[in-house]
Amino acid sequence: MRSIWKGALTFGLVNVPVKVYSATEDHDVSLHQVHNKDGGRIRYQRICEVDGEVVPYQDIDKAYDDGEQTVVLTKDDLASLPSERSREIEVVEFVPSDQVDLLTLDKAYYLEPDSSSPKAYVLLRKTLEQTDRTAIVRFSLRQKTRLAALRVRGDVLVLQTLLWADEVREAAFPSLDESVRISAKELEMSASLVDSFSKDFDPEEFTDEYQAELRTLIDAKLEQGDAIDTDATFGKKEEEDGGEVIDLMEALRASVERSRAARSGGADTGNADEKGKAADTKPAAKKKNAKAS
């Protein structure tokens, strides 16, 4: 990995020199746009609307337009801002880790100690672990002031940028204001369903199915040309009947049985499937129960 930024973590009078690395990477298949008529590649050019010339990236500045006037901001202008010149990751406060809303978490970065002795780095890491606290820090990166959460992952300090409070939209849905009655039996059955699916999370068990299917499609077209049979390539999948659940309790009961059967190696799967179908085909007369969902 190559570092993208160098600076120092500071809290109080303690200074921890660090290098910053991007902690994640994109694994998506790289695609480009083409003209569907002849396959010609579509390319985008930066064209000046005054003289019609294509402008090299190094000759492009930024500007702000308030509707009446335009202010051009050069690269030197932007680089002169005090925040942009700062090479500090300043710890603002230490907060209980459970107070950091997961919705606000954005891009993650690894921090590597950048000094002859990693003692200050290790001290901060152990302190965060023992106190179960997350450090809220402020720093500048790529012409933006950023707020971030500093936490521990294994032996490494991880910096995860946070969305600003006004960047998180409010969830205002009138349907959630309606009064809904949930019976104790429904809650008990729902908890039983959760229990039947419960296990320790292992991210290695999950794969990006879309990207895997996309690669399969590309390989098939490379081998067979455009006239491929997608059903033969992927197998024909029957469409599942959707729709609103009519009898919530029966659907929960069937789901629990189906999950338990799958956990036990497929025993009684047929019986669970039949009950699942029964839940989806209850008479319309029971529609009045739908509001419980």
Query: In this predicted structure, what is the pLDDT of residue 166?
Result: 92
Query: In this predicted structure, what is the pLDDT of residue 250?
Result: 81
Q: Are strands 156-162 and 145-153 parallel, antiparallel or unpaired?
A: antiparallel
DSSP-H helix ranges across 154-243? 184-196, 209-224, 230-234
Query: In this predicted structure, what is the pLDDT of residue 285?
Result: 43
Task: Indicate whether this model's pTM tops 0.75.
Answer: no
Question: Exposed, middle or buried: residue 217 (CB in 10 Å: 0-12, 13-18, 19+)?
Answer: middle
**CA dihedral of residues 57, 29, 218, 41 (deg, nearest 10):** -10
For the chain, 293 residues long, give each residue's pLDDT as a single digit of tens: 899 989 899 988 888 999 999 999 888 889 999 999 999 999 999 999 999 999 999 999 999 998 889 999 998 888 777 766 678 899 999 999 999 999 999 999 999 999 888 999 999 999 999 999 999 999 988 778 899 999 999 999 999 999 999 999 998 888 888 888 888 888 888 888 888 888 888 888 888 888 888 888 888 888 887 777 777 777 776 665 555 556 777 887 888 788 888 877 654 444 444 444 444 444 444 444 444 43
**Is 137:150 a contact under the CB 8 Å cutoff?**
yes
Query: In this predicted structure, what is the pLDDT of residue 41?
Result: 94
Query: In this predicted structure, what is the pLDDT of residue 239?
Result: 61
Q: Which two tokens stand for residue 3?
A: 């570092």
Query: In this predicted structure, what is the pLDDT of residue 286?
Result: 41
Q: Cα separation of 99 and 132, whole Å? A: 11
Residues composing the chain:
293
Query: In this predicted structure, what is the pLDDT of residue 102?
Result: 92
- Type of residue at 41: R
Query: In this predicted structure, what is the pLDDT of residue 204?
Result: 85
What distances in angstroms separate CA 150 from CA 23, 28, 127, 252, one per listed residue? 13, 28, 12, 41
CA atoms within 13 Å, Cβ hemisphere of 209: 3
Q: Cα separation of 34 and 62, whole Å? A: 30
